[in-house]
A = this chain, B = another copy of it.
Amino acid sequence: MSGQKLRFGIIGAGRIGRVHAETLAFRLPETEIAAIGDVSVEAAQAVAARCNIPKVAATAEEILGDPSIDAVLICSPTATHSELIVKAAEAGKHIFCEKPIAFSLEKIDVALAAVQQAGVQLQIGFNRRFDSNFARVRQAVVNGEVGVPRLLHIISRDPAPPPIAYIRSSGGIFLDMTIHDFDMARFLMGDEVEEIYTAAGVMIDPAIGEARDLDTALIVLRFRSGAIGTIDNSRQAAYGYDQRAEILGSKGKIATENRFPNEAIVSTGKSIYTDLPLNFFMDRYTESFALELKAFTEAVLAGKPTPVTGIDGRIPVVMALAARKSYDEHRPVLLREVSA
């Protein structure tokens, strides 16, 4: 470890790469950024200039080969994640990787094996665990404020569907969108899902169906404890980003509302109204992106396990595959049917 600061290399200078770079540069004094690289040199240079990063790397290998670097942030496209994890592990770097690890369990298992063999740490970018609302729900369960969980509801709706080109390479709604909710379900309940049933459809844009994807889904989860729950996904909510959770337990319930740009309420002769909620994930989850990096940094510096491990990255992919299989076969599907 290079002294007291954790030294990072960043692979990928797109939207999320830039957000993470800013967090490291401006909010985490216990870190420093050694280099950033991207297939777009301009993108990498822009982030480097903004965040005072001394070096723009031409390739990922250049970053992985830099012995002064302790940890890498993998913010490149999903298709590259598993291979980069393997290489980074082999180079002895600790790894923070955006979700999902890969679309296939084979690739994930290869990556996780490499991480285990190298003995490095891996954290997956399930940032919502660090959102103050979802963290409060988890806290209520852990504290026993609501007793033993019985019923879970997760509402997760985007303001508008992404471009069809994105949809085509996204891995489908379950791997692209619901995967966050699958992680939330495990995290909030502190329990594992055994079986999934999916009801879904194409209700927003027929082009999504033509791309063999779905845009609206209800996913029923059965947990080991016997608890049951639903995830509600829509690629379009006219009023903006809608991210809520509710747990009913033996002693009560906890439910979260959305976060708004202000708390003003206007009353006129026609209605009582407020502005719309924070519009999309960059606004709603700003703070959680910083907190997940802080947690990663602290875990690595302390030599302790990260709060979102490789297996936490694998299971939601299994759930996504089961959700799709359930939809395709029109029946409840056990997770062990997908991954023995």
Contact = CB atoms under 8 A, between A and B. Distances in A.
B248 A254 contact: no
Contact of A50 (B29, B242, B251, B265): B29
A152 to B, nearest CB: 9
Contact of A268 (B26, B239, B264, B277): B239
Most B CB atoms within 10 A — which of A132, A204, A229, A273?
A: A273
A157 B248 contact: yes
B216 A200 contact: no
A330 interface: yes
Given A263-B259, A276-B272, A250 B222 contact: no
27 contacts: A133-B262, A135-B262, A136-B275, A137-B264, A147-B238, A150-B216, A151-B232, A199-B220, A199-B222, A199-B332, A203-B227, A203-B250, A218-B230, A230-B230, A238-B251, A238-B252, A238-B267, A239-B267, A239-B272, A251-B269, A255-B264, A255-B267, A256-B263, A259-B263, A271-B276, A272-B275, A272-B277
Interface of A: 25-27, 29, 50, 132-133, 135-137, 140, 145-148, 150-151, 153, 157, 197, 199-201, 203-204, 216, 218, 220, 222, 226-230, 232, 234, 236-239, 242, 248, 250-259, 261-277, 330-332
